[in-house]
């Protein structure tokens, strides 16, 4: 999963990506956080990769953006590469 920020930073650094899928008969949540570097003189891939085993569908994909917004996608076919662009923030009614 690649993240493109609009109101957050363009690279999606700091975004938390969660997926829920049925793996080996049980519901499993996984979490990855987008970061550019996790070690000295190292660079991380800017995509979140999930091991889904025998899962054919992702029940839920939730991205919590560093700017405070959240994007949710459901019923996604597994074994593909996705790029998600941050949605515009929703106005809060007063």
Residue 42 reports pLDDT greater than 90 = no
pLDDT, mean over the chain: 88
Residue 94 reports pLDDT greater than 70 = no
Residue 57 reports pLDDT greater than 90 = yes
CB 46 within 8 A of CB 11: yes
pTM of this structure: 0.84
Give the residue among 79, 73, 3 at the shortest CA–CA distance from 36: 3
Higher pLDDT, 42 or 36: 36
Residue 43 reports pLDDT greater than 90 = no
């Amino acid at each position: 999963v690649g993240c493109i920020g609009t109101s957050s930073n363009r690279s999606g650094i700091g975004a938390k990506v969660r997926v829920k899928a049925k793996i080996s008969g049980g519901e499993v949540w996984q979490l990855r956080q987008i970061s550019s570097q996790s070690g000295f003189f190292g660079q991380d891939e800017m995509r979140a990769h999930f091991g889904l085993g025998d899962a054919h569908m992702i029940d839920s994909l939730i991205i919590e953006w560093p700017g405070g917004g959240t994007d949710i996608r459901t019923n996604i076919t597994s074994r593909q590469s996705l790029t998600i662009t941050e949605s515009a923030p929703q106005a809060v009614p007063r």
